[in-house]
Amino acid sequence: MIIEAEDPVQAFILPSGSEPLVEIATGEERHIVAAHGTARLRLCVRHAPPRPVPAYSIPCDAACALRLAAASRLQRVTNGNRIGADRAVLPTPNQRARYTGLLRIHDALEAGASARDLAFGLVFPNHRPLAGAIWKGSGERRHVLRLIADARRLIGAGYRRLLLHR
C-alpha cells in the first residue's frame, strides 16, 4: 500500500495488535512491514503536498484490483475490524489439490519410494504397473518425473509460507 501524507513519519500509526517487522525511513518515504495476526501489512508512506488527511495512492496498472482490495483491508484493520483471509491470494481448490498431491509425492520420496512406486501408487492408482522397456519409454514415467521435479521445487521454494498464508 502506498500512503501519501504531509509528514511520512507521523502520517500512519500501526493499528493495535500489529507488530513492526521491518521499518526503513528515507528522506521522502517510510517503508513498513508489520504483522497483524497472520496478515502482513506492507506500506510505503510518501511525502506529499499538504493535505488534510493521508491518502492512498493506487496506480492504475495490472495489480490495481489487488491494491484496491489491500486498501480496503488496511482501512478495516485501522478501524479495528477483524480481517479474514484474502480470497484473491488464496489457492483455488484445484491448486490446493495439486499442492497436496505434490506434498504427498515428496513425503513418499522421503520414505524411499521410487518413481515407479509413485506412478502406480499415488499418481495412477487404477493403472496396471508397466515393466521394463515399456516403463522406460512411457508417458506415465515422464509425467511422474515432472511431478517429482515440481514437488522438489515446491519444497525448495518454502512451501510452508504457502500453507501458513504468509
Q: What is the mean predicted confidence (pLDDT) over 115-133?
A: 92
Instruction: Answer yes or no: is pLDDT of 13 > 90.
Output: no
How many whole angstroms separate alpha carbon 103 and alpha carbon 109?
Answer: 10
pLDDT for res 87? 63
How many whole angstroms separate alpha carbon 106 and alpha carbon 93?
Answer: 20
Please give the model's pTM, rounded to 2 decimal places.
Answer: 0.50
Contact between residue 102 and residue 151 where contact means Cβ atoms under 8 Å apart: yes
pLDDT in tens, 80-93: 766 655 565 667 88
The bridge status of strand 39-47 relative to strand 29-36 is antiparallel
For the chain, domain boundaries? 2-78, 93-163
pLDDT band at 166 (very low <50, low <70, confident <90, very high): very low
How many whole angstroms separate alpha carbon 6 and alpha carbon 126?
Answer: 66
pLDDT in tens, 48-90: 877 777 788 888 888 788 778 878 877 777 777 666 555 656 6
Instruction: Answer yes or no: is pLDDT of 98 > 60.
Output: yes
Q: What is the mean predicted confidence (pLDDT) over 12-34?
A: 77
Residue whose cell numbers read 483491508: 73
Instruction: Answer yes or no: is pLDDT of 164 > 80.
Output: no
Higher per-residue pLDDT: 2 or 133: 133
Task: Please provide the average confidence, as pLDDT, over all residues in the chain.
Answer: 81
